[in-house]
Amino acid sequence: MTDPVSRTILLLDIEKYSNRDDVEQAYLRRMLYGIADRVLEGAGIDATLRRRADRGDSVMELIDAGASTTALLRALLTEAPVELRTVNRMASTSAQIRLRAVLATGYVAIDELDGWVGADLNHACRLLDAEMLRLALRERPNDFALCVSESVHHGIVQHDYPGIPRDEFHAITVRSKNGPLQAWMHGPLPRDTQNSAGTSEPEDSGLPTAPAENRATPPSPVDLGNASFGGSYVAGDQHGVSGNGTVYGDVHLGGGGAVRRGERE
């Protein structure tokens, strides 16, 4: 096995490939190869700087670290959707091609069987297969959903280079058998984010939680004159609420009943 070397990793995958017949699959593979080649050429990446692995419904590209990852990301954002639109305009409904893409960087080694080995590559593949990215593609009008690794975001996206708008990327957490993976998705997060297997869970506070049926629903303030305190509000006039002050009107606390002046619980 070779020593691991730094590479840019580009993964492209066809949506619903296995649902097509053999003729359609062969066509989609040709279109995928053509789109990948034109995007990489548009980024100024020569064929001698690339190494491709065929995965049937997807392609994996290892790109020399000397090639510009910034130019490639810019091309993915601008040229890939144009290429897809051009191809799909001429294709029948059954031959439409929609792509998920992941751009990452990391160290990869090549073994004696020409297999690619590396934890960074494994992480990129898990991002490509994430349910969050699949859900996002279903909602994309331009037939393209892109996710970048934490390293690409840190080194490129966060610096807001021309053609790579920082504000259009959103942090996501992808669950995997090796633990959560941090990444960044281009474009809006899918509407079904809360049910996605790719979302992060809220942190456990360590405090006991009441059963859902016993939790009170906080009331909403009824007008602009009410003072609101989290899940409670005070209606009417308020004077010296703490201490021995007087409260006029109804006091509503969370989901409980009203306590009027002069009454005790």
Contact at 8 Å (CB) between 184 and 157? yes
User: Amino acid identity of 136?
Assistant: A
Do the Cβ atoms of 97 and 88 come closer than 8 Å?
yes
Strands 144-149 and 238-239: unpaired
Per the DSSP assignment, residues forming a β-bridge with 229 are 232
- 148: tokens are 């970048």
In eight-state DSSP terms, residue 16 is T
- Residue 77 has a pLDDT of 97
Quote the pLDDT of residue 204: 38
Residue 175 has a pLDDT of: 86
- Structure confidence at residue 21 (pLDDT): 86
Q: Which is nearest to 187 in space by CA: 129, 124, 144?
A: 144
Residue 225's pLDDT is what?
Answer: 44
Contact yes or no for 195/164 (Cβ under 8 A): no
Q: Which of 183, 185, 180 is nearest to 170 (CA)?
A: 185
What predicted TM-score, i.e. pTM, was given to this entire model? Answer: 0.71
Q: What is the pLDDT of residue 193?
A: 64
Domains of the chain: 5-195 (3.30.70.1230), 213-259 (no CATH)
> From first to last of its 265 residues, what are the pLDDT tens digits of the chain?
888 899 999 999 999 888 888 999 999 999 999 999 999 999 999 999 999 988 778 899 999 999 999 999 999 999 999 999 999 998 888 889 999 999 999 999 988 777 888 899 999 999 999 999 999 999 998 899 999 999 999 999 999 999 999 999 999 999 888 789 999 999 999 987 644 444 443 333 333 444 444 444 444 444 434 443 344 344 444 444 444 444 445 444 444 444 444 444 4
Helices 22-42 and 69-89: crossing angle in degrees, nearest 10, is: 140
Q: What is the 3-state secondary structure (H, E, C) of 101-166?
A: EEEEEEEEEECCCCCEECHHHHHHHHHHCCHHHHHHHHHCCCCEEEEEEHHHHHHCHHHCCCCCCH
Question: Taking the alpha carbons of 74, 76, 77, 81 in that order, is the dihedral positive or negative?
Answer: positive
Contacts 24+ apart (CB under 8 A), 125-131: 125/11, 126/174, 126/176, 126/181, 127/102, 127/174, 127/181, 127/183, 128/11, 128/13, 128/58, 128/100, 128/101, 128/102, 130/172, 130/174, 130/183, 130/197, 130/198, 131/196, 131/197, 131/198
The residue type found at 258 is A
Q: What is the pLDDT of residue 9?
A: 97
